[in-house]
Structure 1
Amino acid sequence: MSGEEAIARAFVEARRTGAALPTYPGVRPTSLAAAYGVQDHAIAFHGGAVAGWKVGRVPAPYSDTLGVPRLAGPIFADQIQSAGDDPARLPVISGGFAAVEAEYLLRIGRSPKPGTQRLSPEDAVALVDAVHVGFEIASSPYAGINADGPLVTISDFGNHNALLIGAPVADWSSRTFEDWQVATFVDDTCVGEASARTMLDGPFGAVAFLVESLAARGRALEPGQWVSSGAVTGVHQVAVGARVEARFGTLRVSGTIEAAARQESMSEMKHGERTG
């Protein structure tokens, strides 16, 4: 097993069992290719449908040294829930990293033309068929995932753990929603306010970035997939039990942070297959 595979397996195993990792499980990646290599192995080990992609900002000076403004991570179908009348239950890995991010969620209506490797934010609008408000829950078994820089973040699914899809944005194609004031609250305290105009080239720029990033990995956006386009008000760390709410103009989305449920480990799954 390669070093990249061992790191990927350690992260997937820790996520399945809800166990924190006190240290990074291997040698930290030193290039984008190595970081996404770990992520691709982890996608294979995790299994299940990739129902979308989260996009996060790469801060300076990393954006200059790596030559990219954003990073990406997979969103699996079993990590998505739709908001209802009651606050959602939003899982994080206890003892690891946990944060809430108010985001615009863009649904892909059609794939880019085969061979497309670069797209402008304006052209990316044509790939989208709906925009919703929502929360991305950033969580990892490794508490230092963000502090260690974007290559480490990329290696563990881009620090993604859950997606809450809220109400649709009416008349989204006019792009006026990008001027809405967005506010995030944790336990009734406002922890951040901003609009999508502060997000590099905006939510559709995140889609354009994904077209290029995924093409370099031999992947493509697919109809029905979601793009969690980046934190509008910031990345706000939370603890189990916290109540969170985001206000996008007149639209609201809310939830309660809880510890992720333990699943069977890989060894337990294999043992069950042998003895079942």
Structure 2
Amino acid sequence: MTSETGQTNITRIASEFVTARRNATALVEYPGTMPAALAEAYAMQDAAIALTDKPIAGWKVGRINPPIEGADRLAGPIFADQTFHEGDTPRAMPVFAGGFAAAEAEFLLRIGTAPDPAKHDYTLAEATALIDRVCVGIEIASSPFGGINDHGAGVTISDFGNNNGLVIGADVTDWRDIDVNAWPVELTIDGVTTGVATAATMLDGPFGAARFLFELMATRGIALSAGQWISTGAVSGVHPVEIGAKIVAIFDDRLQVECSISAQ
């Protein structure tokens, strides 16, 4: 049970982050007492989601390294008005000036069948069976608080998991028949390579991220819907970006997705 003081802190932090995001203002300091546990951090996220009151198009999954409380991943919402298919307008993806800003090359999974909200444990095969589409994409990680990644997973979780948008690229049409974990994934900023890696280095890969999300959301009491996207984690790393930068994510030299960076 959360104490009255603890609930006041949760409400304050959620309100401060939502207001800062809405007004595109930087936060020099964390706006309250940092969460001491993952449950408290997710309570802050839930409160902020309620204050935002916008449709959620999907969820980002990121890694916790080293794991805490037995968790090696975290999650945050991706809002519909910040989700774009490549070729949509705008192609420029906003970040918070004076805050944190990064781009991440990721495999995106679309939920084809909504998971049973009462089911708390999945095998990798069960989680994969609920997916109907795999695309390449770019997650925009940005927060008004510049130090969001410097204080542990709880702080990251408390501000929507540090998400500020998603670019959905081309379909991996034969994903059921190939091993996307073996694809080299590269991200370039203004034509310069910043990282190359494979999803094989990411715990149990993109579909493991889906399994994690299904189990977490059942625990949180949040129903997932068919058609929602899962941004499964940064393959080549979290790459800081500046306003005006051009980002290109290249997947196995056969698919790529790009965007530019603008001010929120």
Normalised TM-score (structure 2): 0.94
1:6 equivalent to 2:12? Answer: yes
Distance in 2, Cα, partners of 1:104 & 1:240: 24
2:165 aligned counterpart, secondary structure? strand
Identity %: 53
Give the C-alpha shift of residue 106 in structure 1: 0.3
Matches within 5 A, 1:192-211: 192-211=195-214
Give the C-alpha shift of residue 85 in structure 1: 8.7
What residue is the counterpart of 1:120 in the other structure?
A: 123
1:57 equivalent to 2:63? Answer: yes
Distance in 2, Cα, partners of 1:29 & 1:175: 41
Give the C-alpha shift of residue 113 in structure 1: 2.7
What residue is the counterpart of 1:253 in the other structure?
A: 257
Question: Contact 1:87–1:254 (CA<8 Å) still a contact in 2?
Answer: no
* More strand as a share of residues: 2
Runs of 4 or more above 3 Å deviation = none
Cα-Cα RMSD: 1.4
1:155 equivalent to 2:155? Answer: no
Point out the more displaced range, 21-30 or 242-251.
Answer: 242-251
Distance in 1, Cα, partners of 2:234 & 2:255: 16
What residue is the counterpart of 1:143 in the other structure?
A: 146
What residue is the counterpart of 2:221 in the other structure?
A: 218
What residue is the counterpart of 2:35 in the other structure?
A: 29
What residue is the counterpart of 1:267 in the other structure?
A: none
Extract unaligned runs of 5+ from structure 2: 1-6
Residue-pair matches, total: 257
Distance in 2, Cα, partners of 1:98 & 1:76: 17
Give the C-alpha shift of residue 221 in structure 1: 2.1
Normalised TM-score (structure 1): 0.90
- 1:137-193 superposed Cα distances (whole Å, 9 cap, x missing partner): 000000000011110000000000000000000111124222111100011110000
Give the C-alpha shift of residue 198 in structure 1: 1.0
Amino acid at match of 2:110: R
Give the C-alpha shift of residue 87 in structure 1: 9.0
